[in-house]
Amino acid sequence: MGRRLIVVLLIAALIAGGVFYLARTVQRSAPPVQQSAVTQPQQPRQETGMILVAAKDLPAGTIIQANSLSFRAWPREAIDETAYVLQAGGSIEEFDGAVVRSGIRSGEPVIRTKLIKRGERGFLAAVLKPGMRAVSAPVNETTGVSGFVFPGDYVDLMLSHVVNMSDGGGQVRPHNVTETVMHNIRVIAMDQRSGDQEQAPAVGRVTTFEVTPEQAERISLAQRMGELRLVLRPLSVEEGEAAEGQAAPSAVVGGAVEEDKRTFTMDSDLSQIISAPGNGTGANGSPSTISVIRGSSAAVEAQAK
């Protein structure tokens, strides 16, 4: 009896050991609980749309160029109804030449109240800097630099007119004079072209300038006095010249040129036949006489040397 009990116990021990071994083997081969595939609830896919954003900081009055704006994916539920959304067949080129009405930060969505396209009401007013005015003057092929002046360029204004001046002999003669009356004036439109993207030369008939209120008065008066001519300034700033958009060093507020920097050319400077006013010689180069009148008699007292 004791021997059978021992055999039974040994068999039970062997069975228990086998079960334990199998359990450990299965446990080691099974993947960890945290790595087991757990079905996660699928997140709903968020719908997006392509909207217009600023590619860089755009201060008020900036004229939009090709690198000023870009389209970016935006959550559709967060798109404002006034934002510019990319439509089928649309492109960013349609915004070339538009003007920023109020400043836009880089990456900020562009809404309709902050941008004015060419041809829309208030476009030209948005181009003007605070305190400035827009005034126009007629030009032609000659006075408008053959159509090579574009919106955004800076020009000087020359006035050619006739001045009656004394020749020193008591006679008043007309003289043709050309003088530079304004420096560094910004062109904001040629005819109805206000963008600088169209680089093909085109002869304009009317040029619109951005000026101060006093400069506007001067340009208006100059048109009545004679012929205005545009003189195109270089893009590069020479030493002593003003940077783009700043007053030239030879100009004071209102566009008046300083006396020591004022330049003009008279007909007598070009022609040897025409006598300079007040030089005491006639048109033929002969000395003119000086007459002294005393009471009712007149006599030649001297000849001008």
**pLDDT tens per residue, range 31-49:** 655 554 555 666 666 678 8
- The pLDDT, as a whole number, for residue 238 is 53
Nearest CA to 188 out of 149, 130, 131 is that of: 149
296 within a domain of the structure (yes/no): no
Q: Has residue 250 got a pLDDT over 90?
A: no
End-to-end Cα separation, the chain, in angstroms: 167
280 within a domain of the structure (yes/no): no
Residues 55 and 122 in one domain: yes
6 within a domain of the structure (yes/no): no
pLDDT band at 74 (very low <50, low <70, confident <90, very high): confident
Helical H segments across the chain, by residue range: 2-29, 123-127, 213-225, 267-270
Residues 84 and 148 in one domain: no
* CA separation for the pair 194, 41 (Å, rounded): 56
Which of 126, 149, 167 is the last residue in one of the domains? 126
Mean pLDDT of 183-198: 72
* CA separation for the pair 303, 290 (Å, rounded): 6
265 within a domain of the structure (yes/no): yes
Residues 254 and 134 in one domain: yes
Is 0.85 topped by the overall pTM?
A: no
298 within a domain of the structure (yes/no): no
- The pLDDT, as a whole number, for residue 155 is 93
284 within a domain of the structure (yes/no): no
Domain of residue 110, residue span = 48-126
Q: Has residue 138 got a pLDDT over 80?
A: yes
294, amino acid identity: R
Strand residue runs (E) in the chain: 48-54, 69-75, 99-100, 115-116, 133-138, 154-166, 172-190, 206-211, 227-232, 264-266, 289-294, 297-303
Q: Do residues 140 and 242 make contact, with C-beta atoms less than 8 angstroms apart? A: no
Find the length of the chain.
Answer: 305
Q: Compute the mean pLDDT over every residue in the chain, rounded to the nearest whole number.
A: 74
Residues 214 and 246 in one domain: yes
Which of 126, 147, 164 is the last residue in one of the domains? 126
pLDDT digits (tens, 9 = 90+) for 84-112: 787 756 678 888 878 888 888 998 888 88
Q: pLDDT > 90: what percent of the chain?
A: 15
Residues 263 and 140 in one domain: yes
Q: In the chain, how many domains are there?
A: 2
Mean pLDDT of 268-296: 60
38 within a domain of the structure (yes/no): no
Residues 64 and 97 in one domain: yes
Listed range (180-189, 244-253, 273-282, 286-295) with the worst mean pLDDT: 244-253
Residues 82 and 133 in one domain: no
Instruction: Dig out the tokens for 33 from the structure.
Output: 């609980």
278 within a domain of the structure (yes/no): no
Instruction: Dig out the tokens for 217 from the structure.
Output: 């008065």
pLDDT band at 214 (very low <50, low <70, confident <90, very high): very high
Residues 161 and 253 in one domain: yes
pLDDT band at 292 (very low <50, low <70, confident <90, very high): very low
